[in-house]
A and B are shown apart, each in its own frame.
Chain A
Amino acid sequence: MNIIITATVVLFWILLLFYSAVTIGGVWYRLRFRNPPKAKHYPSVAVLIPAHNEEIVIENTLRAMARLRYEGKLDVYLLDDSSKDGTAAIVQEFAEVFSRIHYIPVPPGNPKGKSRVLNYGLSVTESDYFVVYDADNEPEPDALEKLVQAAEAVPNAAGAVGYVKTKNVDTNILTRMIALEFQVFQLLMQCGRWALFRLGSLAGTNMLLRRSVIEKLGGYDVYALAEDAELTVRLTAAGYVLPVIPTSRTWEQEPETLKAFIKQRTRWLTGNLYLLEKSIKDRSHWRGKTFVLSLQHLFTYLIFVLMLLISDVFFILSVAGVDIPNIGAPLMMLWFMTYIVYTAQLLSALVIDRNVSLTNVLYILVMYFTYAQLFILLLIRSVSTYTWSKLRKKTIAWDKTQRFKGRVDS
Chain B
Amino acid sequence: MKNNLKLGILILTMLGFGWALFSLVLPFSTEMLLVAGLSILFMTLIHERYVFLYGISIILSYGIFLTIFAFFFTQRPELEIMYVYSHLLFTGFILSFWLLLNQIKQIGYEASELRRQVQLLQKYHGETDILTVNEFTEQAQWVLKTTERRQEEAWFVEISINIKNKRTQQNIKESLERATLSTIRQKFDLATSTGQSIYLLLKDIDEEGVRLMMERYRDKVKQELNLLDSPYEVRKEQVSNLNELSRALGKAI
- When the two chains form their complex, are residues A332 and B174 in contact, meaning their CB atoms are under 8 A apart? no
The residue from B1, B60, B64, B226 contacting A97, defined by CB atoms under 8 A apart: B226
Min distance, Cβ A250 to any Cβ of chain B, angstroms: 17
* B67 contacts A by Cβ under 8 Å: yes
* A351 contacts B by Cβ under 8 Å: yes
- When the two chains form their complex, are residues B60 and A344 in contact, meaning their CB atoms are under 8 A apart? yes
- When the two chains form their complex, are residues B80 and A330 in contact, meaning their CB atoms are under 8 A apart? yes
- When the two chains form their complex, are residues A97 and B87 in contact, meaning their CB atoms are under 8 A apart? no
* B141 contacts A by Cβ under 8 Å: no
Min distance, Cβ B65 to any Cβ of chain A, angstroms: 10
- When the two chains form their complex, are residues A361 and B226 in contact, meaning their CB atoms are under 8 A apart? no
Chain A proximity mask over B62-103: 1 for CB below 8 Å, otherwise 0: 011011001100100100110110010001000100010011
A96 to B, closest residue via Cβ: B226
Q: Which stretch from B149-157, B165-173, B188-196, B242-250 is at the chain A interface?
A: B165-173
* A66 contacts B by Cβ under 8 Å: yes
- When the two chains form their complex, are residues B127 and A344 in contact, meaning their CB atoms are under 8 A apart? no
The residue from A98, A332, A351, A358 contacting B171, defined by CB atoms under 8 A apart: A98
Chain B proximity mask over A63-106: 1 for CB below 8 Å, otherwise 0: 10011000000000000000000000010011111111000000
Q: How far is the CA of A178 from the CA of B84 in the complex (A)?
A: 28
Q: Which residues of B have CB within 8 Å of A357?
A: 106
- When the two chains form their complex, are residues A410 and B170 in contact, meaning their CB atoms are under 8 A apart? yes
- When the two chains form their complex, are residues B56 and A98 in contact, meaning their CB atoms are under 8 A apart? no
Q: How far is the CA of A318 from the CA of B1 in the complex (A)?
A: 39
* B59 contacts A by Cβ under 8 Å: yes
Q: Which residues of B have CB within 8 Å of A93?
A: 165, 167-168
Question: Given A340-B59, A344-B59, A358-B6: A97 and B171 within 8 A (CB)?
Answer: yes
The residue from B56, B60, B83, B171 contacting A333, defined by CB atoms under 8 A apart: B83
Give how many A residues have a beta carbon under 8 Å from the other chain's beta carbons.
35
A365 to B, closest residue via Cβ: B95
- When the two chains form their complex, are residues A358 and B9 in contact, meaning their CB atoms are under 8 A apart? yes
* A356 contacts B by Cβ under 8 Å: yes
* B10 contacts A by Cβ under 8 Å: yes
* A347 contacts B by Cβ under 8 Å: yes
Most buried by A among B70, B83, B87, B171: B171
Min distance, Cβ B7 to any Cβ of chain A, angstroms: 10
Min distance, Cβ A61 to any Cβ of chain B, angstroms: 12
Q: How far is the CA of A296 from the CA of B144 in the complex (A)?
A: 67
A67 to B, closest residue via Cβ: B127
Q: Which residues of B have CB within 8 Å of A330?
A: 67, 70-71, 74, 80
Q: How far is the CA of A341 from the CA of B171 in the complex (A)?
A: 47
* B227 contacts A by Cβ under 8 Å: yes
- When the two chains form their complex, are residues B56 and A99 in contact, meaning their CB atoms are under 8 A apart? no
* B224 contacts A by Cβ under 8 Å: yes
Q: How far is the CA of A230 from the CA of B226 in the complex (A)?
A: 38
- When the two chains form their complex, are residues B127 and A341 in contact, meaning their CB atoms are under 8 A apart? no
- When the two chains form their complex, are residues A67 and B174 in contact, meaning their CB atoms are under 8 A apart? yes
Q: How far is the CA of A94 from the CA of B99 in the complex (A)?
A: 46
- When the two chains form their complex, are residues A348 and B225 in contact, meaning their CB atoms are under 8 A apart? no
- When the two chains form their complex, are residues A98 and B77 in contact, meaning their CB atoms are under 8 A apart? no
Question: Given A66-B175, A340-B63: A332 and B81 within 8 A (CB)?
Answer: yes
- When the two chains form their complex, are residues A332 and B77 in contact, meaning their CB atoms are under 8 A apart? yes
* A59 contacts B by Cβ under 8 Å: yes
Q: Which residues of B have CB within 8 Å of A94?
A: 167-168, 171
Question: Given A66-B171, A100-B224: A318 and B84 within 8 A (CB)?
Answer: no
B55 to A, closest residue via Cβ: A347
Question: Given A97-B226, A330-B70: A340 and B60 within 8 A (CB)?
Answer: yes
Q: How far is the CA of A100 from the CA of B226 in the complex (A)?
A: 9
Can you identify 8 A-B contacts, CB atoms within 8 angstroms?
A: A66-B171, A97-B172, A98-B225, A100-B224, A333-B67, A351-B52, A358-B1, A358-B99
Residues of A in contact with B (beta carbons under 8 Å apart): 59, 63, 66-67, 90, 93-100, 141, 318, 329-334, 336-337, 340-341, 344, 347-348, 351, 356-359, 361, 410
